[in-house]
Chain A
Amino acid sequence: MLPLAGLLIRAPWATLPQRLTEPDVLAALRLSLLTATLATGVCLLTGVPLAWLLARTTFVGRRFVRALVTVPLVLPPVVGGVALLLVFGRRGLVGEWLDSAFGITLPFTTTGVVLAEAFVAMPFLVISVEGALRSADARYEEAAATLGAGRWTAFRRVTLPLIAPGVAAGAVLCWARALGEFGATITFAGNFPGRTQTMPLAVYLALERDLDAAIVLSLVLLAVSVAILAGLRDRWLGTT
């Protein structure tokens, strides 16, 4: 809590309104919210099935895959960014083919930001959804199956509602991590205002020249994320 207090005490309150309306601030904030939300979407679409595989099936190398899932947590984000460049960059394993076949290049694009954020935030979702699946009673699914439900129907109508709080908590963690992402983003997607400059990047660069501007940007990011998380928590988890 102390670092937060430090920011609040040191903030240039007098010039705050004027600094907030600078177009770069709004562009960076919009981009941050957009990319973090899209990255969470990507993580949900790919992470929930992955968590289901890890929790409900047995296959050779499952332990190894589970360990791999946590790699982005251990890896310094900058290294993650370099790794993404080596795969999706212009000369990368997949990137070179994407470029020559479809003319798609991911670095320095907003899509690149989403990819970098999803890469770093994915473990938060997978781990909490897998945990939720493991503690959900598989007998409900079996009961559904005996009543004639197919695998997909059972998953959609029985499993998903059971693990909804776990998925929601995972998504919130995932979104929060994506919103604060810095290292992988600046390494993989670079920094260009309006296109790949998210709030954490704007804060870092503002710090080079103007401490007050950096503090204002940090506070905006904090205020918006806390407000959104508090709002969602009440709605999704039904806590008071």
Chain B
Amino acid sequence: MRTRLTTAAALAAVLVTSGCGAAADAPAKGSGASAKANTSKVTVLAAASLTESFDKIGVLFEGLNPGVDVTFSYGGSSGLAQQITSGAPADVFAAASPATMKTVVDAGDSSGTPVTFTRNQLVIAVPKGNPKGITSLAALAKPGVKVALCAEQVPCGAAAKKALATAGAAVTPVTQEQDVKAALAKLKLGEVDAALVYRTDARSAAAEVDGVEFPESASTLNDYAIVALTNAPNPSGASAFVTFVRTPQAQQVLADAGFQKP
């Protein structure tokens, strides 16, 4: 029995350690990419809310620059910033908030000054058809309305807190999610009646979700900044991508997704 238990314990130890690191996939794809003339790789770390738009922009960029391969790693801005300051090999960083970008600049990991390339604002996401008739932030404070917000530590949660304070609405959420996509997922699954998410997120889920605009969202306008990184394995590719994101072609993709001009 002794050996049996020991085996079980060893097995268990392996399983426990491998169990809960799913959220922090390190983007190691760009390491060792050589900037040869014909094939070069650009690794872009970008805020999760940019997922749909940057995928499209990446395809456009590759079309215009034959032989260039753009790889994206999306995630919470703060988590990505931490990966960069810990030395993750990447060429470009696009953050959903100036505060997060500042941590990378302060650590000396940015090459040049970050530029604001787009803006996003919050909407109230509700199930298709708005069954609870929610039209304002004040309606979220009503009893019987379950609300998901982002946690205050992430940009969308900080913006939500500010908007609710501006509106004077005392909303107690049932959950404070780790990022905006998680808040949206709880709404799609029907576990909550409303969630404060970015307008772009509501639009990307337009088949199941309606976005209700509210006046206080003006105070939640979020600036997105992009910068090439000091330790970029592919500096020329990095600056080309940063420039491309501000061209009318790329800006149109962002506008279609619900982003606003900077």
Contacts and interface: CB of A to CB of B under 8 A. Distances in A.
Given A132-B1, A180-B16, A180-B20, A207 B191 contact: no
**What 4 pairs between A and B have smallest CB-CB spacing?**
A190-B175, A208-B153, A91-B190, A182-B20
B36 interface: no
A166 B175 CA distance: 38
Interface string A73-96: 100111000100110011100000
Contacts of A211: 82
7 contacts: A107-B174, A108-B191, A128-B8, A131-B4, A135-B1, A177-B16, A182-B19
B4 to A, nearest CB: 5
A208 B151 contact: yes
Interface residues of B, number: 32
Contact of A186 (B79, B82, B148, B178): B178
Contact of B191 (A78, A85, A136, A208): A85
Interface stretch (A26-34, A52-60, A139-147, A198-206): A198-206
A180 B189 contact: no
A200 B5 contact: no
Given A190-B148, A190-B177, A208 B154 contact: yes
B19 A127 contact: no
Contacts of B146: 108
B28 interface: no
A100 to B, nearest CB: 14
Given A89-B191, A190-B186, A211-B82, 10 more contacts: A165-B5, A182-B19, A183-B22, A186-B178, A190-B148, A190-B175, A190-B177, A205-B176, A205-B178, A208-B78
Interface of B: 1, 4-5, 8-9, 12, 15-16, 19-20, 22-23, 76, 78-79, 82, 146, 148, 151, 153-154, 173-178, 182, 186, 189-191
A209 interface: yes
B191 A204 contact: no
A166 B173 contact: no
Given A91-B189, A177-B16, A208 B79 contact: yes
